[in-house]
Structures are given as structure tokens and as C-alpha cells.
Amino acid sequence: RVWDAGSGAHLATLKGGHTRGVLAVAFGPDGASLASVGQDKDHSLAVWHDSGGAWSGPQLAASGKGSTNKVLFVEWLHSDEGGFQLATGGVKHLSFWSLQGRSARPKAGLFGKVGKIQPLVSAASISLEGSWKLVTGTATGDLYIWSGRECSISIPSAHSGAINTVCSNTQGRLLLSGGKDSHVKMWKPAGNTLELILNFDLKTLVEGALNPIIRAVDFLSDHDSAEEGKFLVGTQGSEIYEFDLARAESAPEQLMTGHFKDELWGLAIHPPEAGAILPSSLDDTIDSVLLGAAEGGSGDPQLFATAGDDGTVRLWSMIERRQVDVVEVGGMSRTVDFSPDGALLAVGRGGDMGRGTKGRYEHDGALEIYHLADVSIDGKEEVETRIHKTKAFYTKDAKRWASQVRFSPDGRRLALASHDRSVYLYEQRRAVSGGGDIDAAGDPLPAAEGREEEKERAAAVGGVAAFELRSRFKKHNAAVAHLDWSAGGNQLQSTCIGYELLFADVDVYNLGTKQISATQTRDTAWASWTLPLGWPVQGIWPKYADGSDINAVHRSPLTQRFIATADDFGKVKVFNFPCTSKGAKFVEASGHSSHVTNVRFSNDERRLISLGGNDKSIFQWKLRSKA
């Protein structure tokens, strides 16, 4: 697909050139041509041309079969040196392509005695001695310069690891390279080779860069000098930095950050301040609701938290559309929840990508509590909410990874659902000046060994001493996936991956649990609804659904008139609530590249946050009335 980089508008979908996925794309120098490499066995090359302007009339101009070895890049050549217009390369090969009518024909690059046959990872063209030459970055950190289709110059150990990306400026007078070693280097022509003129190490320049392996570089402004201009750097840690050469000694500015490994599942909305009045902007039914991209703004930041497989928990502002804070928890986490007063953040640890067990399950099923506090920023009067980096509490009772963690409506208790088929119920302890412990209601609790360290650690982060395990609900026959508290905090409902919907009565004094029937809960008001199963949500399921297609649901918290769903087809949908009829009306939005893992309404129901699993993206949608 071709998009307008300025407006984000979709311009064209190019069909018919490939039978499977697309591995690499590159625009031609004129912007009216595009080359793409397919994921078929022969890694076929397709060349597209826009005959209508602004990609209003794209056509397949030429195509041809390539190498059976994996292709990692496609690059347009700036001159027809040797009669070639394109180059593709990858695992132990480089191909130069000539376009003859509707046929694209490759010829193999010749490594000769200069270049070692190895994976070529990246490529760009640069002007040397008055002519354009192709430069490739290798898996071992060398730079190769090609004359025609022959490797003529090798710059050994340009980086200490794979050179993942290279880019030249418009005139071909400067070259940027970025590598696995976290270094970004700038080169200039020196005769028939390249001379290193600048070297930046992102690990030393940026404190707290989570994964500084360089994956992309690009010139932001066109210049020929190492003393001025700007360029961008993208990392494997899902971060984008802007470097200003006029301030080369200063740390680069971070423009973007996000989750970066495996999948993203955990999502929670920070509760509104006590007494806040939140008028809804929506009408009564889904017939009058639109779902679209949300804009930024000012005022209450409307915070939310995410937890990912990359071992980070992050705090975000909906209004400012930026990351506010991040804490590294040291491993996978797929569920988070705020206490009702917004002072605590609970994290359920663990996850599974099906790649084996070695070293993966040390903290699976653990419960961690973090304290949140308002802090001043750079001496200004404004304050921002931050996550205290020291855990207020840690315990591990579940045997498998945690799928859900939920505070009770009064904040005194907490439930953790686990893949060991159980729900664990905790009660909050608070330290008192007399040396003993009390529960959240103020009643004394018996002494327990090993609690002094917890008290000392918690004293620095708000006085929360511990959460004590008080009960375990173990009636499910499969991994527990979702749970909700009743509004009174005396009942729980939960579902598992075996499609059971079970209910439990919670003894508010002893925190014991016993299973109860659905009939006994027919008049229960639920504090939230996040279960994809149950009478009020039976209409959300599409035809032919197998019961696992919907990963998350969320009832609008203010009016309780709507329910949002996140599914395996990349869709975010909003239905009326309750939704009891098959084929019920809904509004939907698309954007995620694969399965959507979670969805939550904002407190005022004006926004909707969705998470992508494989794309690890956070989407913010705006809900508004059609009128």
C-alpha cells in the first residue's frame, strides 16, 4: 500500500505483483516508481509505475524471478552503470537488475578477491570520483563498494557487528551507517573509498536506551557538511531519535518510543480524580457513533498504562499522545491495573510465545505493586505522574503466568488470574506506627516472618507494606483468561480458555471463595465488564467464530451503554450494551496489522485505546456523535 506521509491518507493498493508476503520496498529517485520484493520461493521483483500522479494510477511495469536465497533489501541505482537500474541483496548474494520492457532480469554481483561472500544486510548509492557507486553493509560489519557489478573496495570492520542500515544524502556526498553495535557513523567520499568523519554511540549518548541496536537512519535535511543539518535514527527498541549536527555534543532528541519485543497485551486506564465530572460526548445508540483517529489536546493528561513482552511497563498520556514514564520489570508482563485511587499500579508477570521454557518462567505468575506519585519536572511548577522504580511489593504464588490482575472497587483487595487455572485473592496490609500490621479495614493481622524488608522498601514509596494471599479459587478446568469484580466487591466472575463462565462469592471478612450459580448473580451489578462470554455480550460474536477470535472486551465505564471488542482479524468494534442479538449493529475501525489484543474506553468515553499483538502498536481512537 502507498500512503501520503504528510496526511496519513491511503493513496493506493498495489495488487497482482506478488503471491505471498512482501519483504522489501523502495521508491525510485523520481518518486513515481516503486520496487518490491516478494516472499515467494524465487523472491520475485516487481516494479510499479504511477501514471496518474500522486499514485492515483499505479500499474505493474515489470517483474522477474530473483534469487532463492533470502533477500534483505532492494535499492534503486542512480545511474544506468552497466545497464542496471536496481540491486537486490541478502543472504550470500547480490543481484543487479536491468529492466527490459515488462521483464526484469538479474545478474549476479561478483565478490571476487576483494569481498568475502557473506550476507549483505543494507545498501545505498554514493557519488565517488564523479560517478555513483553502490555501497553495501555486511553481516560482519564491513562496507563493500561496487563498480558495475564487481566488488572493488572493502572497508573492513566499519562496525563491530552487522551494518543494518546505510543511507546517503541527495547529492551522494555523505553516507550514514548504523549497526548492531549501537553506533551511527557518518562517512564522506575520499577518492575511490570512504572516510569516517563522525561516530556516535547511542548507548553512551542516551541514558536508558532500552535496545539501542540501530535499525534505520535517514537524513532529515539535505546538507553536505558534518557541522550542520539533522538526521534521524531508529532503533530495535522502537525508539526514534533526531540528531542535530550543530549540537553534536548534546544528546539527541527522542521523538518516539514504544514496546519492541514479541507481543503487547497489558492495558489499564488511570482512574479519574475523586469527584471529577465526566460528561459523555456520545448519544444513546451505536447508530449515531463514529470511530476515527483521535487528535491531541491539552488539559487532564488522561493517563493509561501498558505492559509488554519486552519487559517494560509504560505510562502514557492520551491528550499529549506521548510516553510519560517507563519502568523495566525484567521480563514478560501481560496485565496491569490501577488501584481505584490511582496511587498504585499492579503488574501480573509472565507470558508465553511458545519458544521453549529455559529461563522463561522464573517470575511467571508473580504479582508486583508499584507506587505512583506526582513529581515536578525540571524545576517547573507543573507536575507529572511517575512510576516509582522500586517495587512496593512482590510475591509469587501462582504456578503459571498471570493473564489478568484486578483491584476490587474499594481497592482493599486484588484478584490475579493465572494460567495455572486459578484465581488468587489478596488483601492489602498497611504498616502502623505501633509495629503491627492491619488490613485495609483497620483490623489487626497476625505477624508473619520476612515482612520487615517489605515494610522498609514500602516506606520509601508510600507506606504500602504488602498484599497477603487470603484465598484461591480453583474451579476452572483451563487457564483463566478474564475476570471482573462486582460493584460491591463481594462476587467475582471469570472465564477460561476452555469457555467456562464461573462465578464466586467472596467472603469480605475472611476472603474465602466458593463457587455460586449464574442464577445467584442475575441481579448483580458488575463494576466492570471485560468478559467476552456471558448473556450481555452474546451478540458480539461474528458468524462462524470459534470462541477464541475475540481477545478482549470493555464496557464503557461512564454510561455503560457501549461495549468495545478487540479481535484476531485486526478489527476494533463498538456495539450497544447489552448486546444480546446475533448480527447486532456495530461500528468498526481497522489499523492494526494483525490480532488486536486489548481495548479500553477512556473514563469520559471520548477515546478508545487498542493494542496490537504482533505490531506492538498503541492506537488511540476518537468516539463522537455523527451529528
- Tell me: pLDDT of 443 over 80: no
**Strand partners of residue 24:** 37
Band (447; pLDDT cuts 50, 70, 90): very low
* Position with higher pLDDT, 53 vs 487: 487
Are residue 134 and residue 218 in the same domain, yes or no? yes
CB 207 within 8 A of CB 192: no
Rg (CA), the chain: 28
Determine the Cα angle at 401 with ends 395 and 402, to 5°.
70
In the predicted model, what is the mean pLDDT of residues 314-333? 94
Beta carbons within 10 angstroms of residue 161's beta carbon: 15
**CA–CA distance, 403 with 419 (Å, rounded to integer):** 7
Are residue 482 and residue 540 in the same domain, yes or no? no
Are residue 47 and residue 98 in the same domain, yes or no? yes
In the predicted model, what is the mean pLDDT of residues 331-354? 94
Q: What is the pLDDT of residue 384?
A: 82
Average pLDDT score, the chain: 88
Q: What is the pLDDT of residue 289?
A: 62
Q: Give the phi and the psi of residue 227 in degrees, each rounded to 5.
A: -100, -5
Determine the Cα angle at 368 with ends 378 and 363, to 5°.
120
Cell of 565: 471488542
Residues of the chain with pLDDT > 90, as a percent, come to 70
Q: Is residue 523 in a domain?
A: no
Q: Is residue 457 in a domain?
A: no
Q: Is residue 292 in a domain?
A: no
Report CA-CA distances (Å) from 112 to 83, 107, 153, 158. Answer: 20, 15, 11, 20
The helix/strand/coil state of 82 is helix
Domain boundary among the residues 219, 254, 289 is at: 254
Tell me the per-residue pLDDT of 121-149, one tens digit each, with 9 for 90 and over: 999 999 998 899 999 999 999 999 999 99
Are residue 249 and residue 266 in the same domain, yes or no? no
Beta carbons within 10 angstroms of residue 58's beta carbon: 20
Band (441; pLDDT cuts 50, 70, 90): very low
**Strand partners of residue 268:** 305
Q: What is the pLDDT of residue 300?
A: 56
How many CA within 13 A on the CB side of residue 460? 10
CA 70 to chain centre: 26
Q: What is the pLDDT of residue 50?
A: 93
Q: Is residue 194 in a domain?
A: yes
Band (276; pLDDT cuts 50, 70, 90): low
CB 160 within 8 A of CB 172: no
- Tell me: pLDDT of 285 over 80: no
Are residue 318 and residue 369 in the same domain, yes or no? yes
Lowest mean pLDDT among 25-39, 245-259, 509-523, 583-597: 509-523
Q: What is the pLDDT of residue 457?
A: 45
* Position with higher pLDDT, 506 vs 434: 506
- Tell me: pLDDT of 301 over 70: no
Q: Is residue 504 in a domain?
A: no
* Cα-Cα-Cα-Cα dihedral sign, residues 517, 518, 522, 524: positive
CA-closest candidate to residue 524, choices 409, 407, 428: 409
Lowest mean pLDDT among 204-218, 231-245, 364-378, 404-418: 364-378
- Tell me: pLDDT of 13 over 60: yes
Band (281; pLDDT cuts 50, 70, 90): low
**CA–CA distance, 502 with 516 (Å, rounded to integer):** 8
Are residue 268 and residue 371 in the same domain, yes or no? yes
Cell 485495609 belongs to residue: 440
Q: Give the phi and the psi of residue 204 in degrees, each rounded to 5.
A: -90, -25
CA 534 to chain centre: 30
Residues of the chain with pLDDT > 70, as a percent, come to 86
Q: Which domain, by its residues, includes 91?
A: 2-230+245-254
Q: Is residue 176 in a domain?
A: yes
CB 74 within 8 A of CB 26: yes
Alpha helix (H) residue ranges in 59-213? 202-205
Tell me the per-residue pLDDT of 548-591, one tens digit each, with 9 for 90 and over: 999 999 999 999 999 999 999 999 999 999 999 999 999 999 98
Tell me the per-residue pLDDT of 363-375, one tens digit each, with 9 for 90 and over: 999 999 999 988 8
CA-closest candidate to residue 261, choices 237, 241, 240, 234: 237
- Tell me: pLDDT of 598 over 50: yes
CATH of the domain at 477: 2.130.10.10
- Tell me: pLDDT of 168 over 60: yes
| End-to-end CA separation in angstroms for the chain | 32
Q: Is residue 609 in a domain?
A: yes
- Tell me: pLDDT of 456 over 60: no
Are residue 217 and residue 336 in the same domain, yes or no? no
Give me the number of domains the chain comprises. Answer: 3
Are residue 57 and residue 159 in the same domain, yes or no? yes
Q: Is residue 564 in a domain?
A: yes
Q: What is the pLDDT of residue 545?
A: 86
- Tell me: pLDDT of 254 over 50: yes
Are residue 167 and residue 312 in the same domain, yes or no? no
Are residue 483 and residue 582 in the same domain, yes or no? no
Q: What is the pLDDT of residue 297?
A: 46
pTM of the model: 0.86
**CA–CA distance, 528 with 513 (Å, rounded to integer):** 20
* Position with higher pLDDT, 429 vs 204: 204
Q: Give the phi and the psi of residue 359 in degrees, each rounded to 5.
A: 70, 5
Are residue 161 and residue 93 in the same domain, yes or no? yes
